[in-house]
Amino acid sequence: MQFLFRYANPHNFMRLSGAVLPFTVIACLMCLGLGLYLGFSAPPDYQQGRTVLLMFIHVPAATMAMTVYGAIAVCSLLSLVWRHPLSDTAARAAAPLGALFTVLGLITGSLWGKPMWGTYWVWDARLTSFLLLLFVYIGYMALWNAIEDEIRAARAAAILALVGAVNIPIIKFSVEWWNTLHQGESIVSGKTAPVFLAPLLLMMGGYFLLFLTLWMVRIRTAILERRARNLMQAGAR
Amino acid sequence: MNFDPLNFDMGTYAVYIWPAYGVTVLVLGGVTLWSICAWRRAKARLAALEAGQAP
């Protein structure tokens, strides 16, 4: 906890993130570049043909949609329990990124579903719970904007984020708990051939690093905006 | 692991694969540009305020 609180200080965060950002940008570009190169060099899958290429953008987007929500839930918990000074800012900054990953997961999944399942959409447990995640993201962002008092808005949004976190294990295990059209887990169980796993893991790493980079940039922006607001208020007095 | 040479021929699946990649590039590129622009705007505004030249 000491570590977290040390970097909860906006000044320390600006210093640390400023030093880390160039490395995350370079690592992100390397992962995405190599991932795409290997992806487009991978042979066609014996069942899916070249649509296997959709896996390299769909799985990372869907994984990040849930990871980002997890990060928001952790930040919300830190905010509610320990009044961690930066956690509200961090949670709010992550939400639009998570929502966009969810949208990408839905669109790319739909475009993968049509040639594989014969339909763009089916109301099975995985797809429905994933769509619900998008609505939770939208609700979370709307709540932040609906309440004028920032402290009250942060409190309400944090509670909503923690309630909405129930959906994450439902999405994850939906393919095991219910009979779904969506395929089951195939990465950890080792069912993915190495020739597809290598580009997939690189793309997942690239997406994660992209999120980390943009998250830090957005938190830094929020800190600067807050400083500007404080200066304006001090000037008005 | 045996990789082939780079292959951009998607055959009959091109109609699904390229739009998916296109949307992905558009969304991720867009949010990256949006975040960088917002950061630059905030930085410029704060600098102006600190210099006593608030717009």
Q: What is the pLDDT of residues A30-62, one digit of tens each?
A: 999 999 999 999 999 998 999 999 999 999 999
Tokens of A142: 């709307």
Judging by beta carbons within 10 Å of its beta carbon (0-12, 13-18, 19+), is residue A18 exposed, middle or buried? exposed
Give this prediction's pTM: 0.94
Q: Which amino acid is at A11?
A: H
Query: Do A54 and B20 make contact, defined as CB atoms within 8 angstroms?
Result: yes
Please give the structure tokens belonging to residue B35: 């975040």
The average pLDDT across B10-14 equals: 93
Q: Using the beta-carbon criterion (under 8 Å), do B4 and A42 form an inter-chain contact?
A: yes
Residue B55 has pLDDT above 60, yes or no: no
Q: Quote the CA–CA distance of A181 and A127 in Å, as a whole number.
A: 9
Per-residue pLDDT 10s for chain A (237 aa) are 666 666 678 889 999 999 999 999 999 999 999 999 999 999 999 989 999 999 999 999 999 999 999 999 999 999 999 887 789 999 999 999 999 999 999 999 999 999 999 999 999 999 999 999 999 999 999 999 999 998 999 999 999 999 999 999 999 999 989 888 888 888 888 888 999 999 999 999 999 999 999 999 999 999 999 999 988 888 776
Cβ-count burial of B27 within 10 angstroms (0-12 exposed, 13-18 middle, 19+ buried)?
middle
Nearest to A113 by CA among B12, B9, B13: B13
Question: B17 and A51: CB-CB below 8 Å?
Answer: yes
pLDDT digit string, tens, across residues B22-31: 999 999 999 9
Phi, psi of A45, rounded to the nearest 5 degrees: -70, 145
Q: Rounded to whole angstroms, how far apart are CA atoms A103 and A62?
A: 9
Count CB-CB contacts under 10 A for residue A170.
17
By Cβ distance, the residue of B7, B28, B35 closest to A40 is B7
Is the pLDDT score of B53 beyond 90? Answer: no
Type of residue at A194: P
* Chain A hits for B13, Cβ within 8 Å: 49-51, 115
Decide: A38 and A198 in contact? Cβ < 8 Å: yes
Measured CA distances, A36 to A66, A183, A194 (Å) = 22, 23, 15
Taking the CA of residue B39 and the nearest CA in chain A, the distance in Å comes to 5
Give yes or no for A20 touching B (CB within 8 A): no
Q: Per-domain residue ranges for chain A?
A: 2-236
The pLDDT, as a whole number, for residue B42 is 97
CB-based burial of residue A30 (10 Å sphere; 0-12 exposed, 13-18 middle, 19+ buried)?
middle
Contacts of A97 (CB under 8 A, 6+ apart): A68, A211, A214, A215, A218, B31
In angstroms, what separates the C-alpha of B30 from chain A's closest C-alpha? 10
Alpha-helix residue ranges (DSSP H) falling in A83-193:
87-117, 125-146, 150-164, 167-177
Do residue B20 and residue A115 have CB atoms under 8 angstroms apart? no
